[in-house]
Amino acid sequence: MYRAEIAVCTENQAAWGGMDIFSQHFSELSAKVTLLEQLSYQQAQVMVGVTAAKNKEREKTAEKFEAVANVLRVHAASTGNVSLQKQMAFSSGKLITGKSERAIQLMSQVIESAALNAPAFAAYNINAQQVAELTTLRDHLGDSMEATRNTIIARKLLTVQIRTLVKETDALLKNLDKLVKVLKAAHPEFYLHYRAARTVVDQKGKSNKPKAPAVPPTPDDVVPPPPAGNPGGTK
């Protein structure tokens, strides 16, 4: 990004070294390009593995909650507990691919219902430790979801910085364009090399100008594929 122009100017320093304003602009350009490369690297690396790790944890957590929810569904059906049936009337996909806030809410419903119906769990080979573990799993997943949101916010801030820096760098280049024209008569070879670096054109005739990175989706926009089947759910 911008390295072609910097390379040409560096190779032809004898042509512009005596022009203080050119030297000043070139120094600023080099500094901004270095910073731009650093920010671009950070922007590319900040999300590496974060969403995938969170989704994997969410899927494993959802499996444990779904097991207890299925016990509650069977218990509700066998005892005619309509209220419990309504509380457990959600699909496993809601826990895995639904909105983060809704998934945590449903997990809390399972925890509360499990506590109220704990005496019946012995018949289903579900012990108190398994039920107690659900709270820890839910809280840890909630922390992971929050951490993912914070990471995405950090990436968005980097994107804003990059876009601003690209505009500032382009402005410096436009000034250098004008200064290079001043040097054209005395240094025609430098002028030609500089213009060649500035007018790289693709096959469609469009300028090959670098673009600022796109803003990433939120955690709830990027979800893993739904699990095969839909055990124990109605909605």
Taking phi first (over 0 means left), then psi (-120 to 50 degrees means alpha), and beta for anything else, what does residue 225 get?
beta
Residue 18 lies in a domain: yes
- 172 vs 32: CA distance, rounded Å: 10
Residue 36 lies in a domain: yes
Which pLDDT score is estimated for 181?
Answer: 96
Q: Is the pLDDT of residue 200 over 70?
A: no
Which pLDDT score is estimated for 208?
Answer: 44
Residue 16 lies in a domain: yes
Total structural domains within the chain: 1
pLDDT in tens, 31-63: 999 999 999 999 989 888 888 899 999 999 999
Which pLDDT score is estimated for 202?
Answer: 34
Residue 184 lies in a domain: yes
Confidence of residue 212 (pLDDT cuts 50, 70, 90): very low
Which pLDDT score is estimated for 130?
Answer: 86
Residue 186 lies in a domain: yes
pTM for the model: 0.63
**201 by DSSP, 3-state: which?**
strand
Residue 62 lies in a domain: no
Residue 28 lies in a domain: yes
Residue 167 lies in a domain: yes
Residue span of the structural domain in which 36 resides = 3-47+163-198
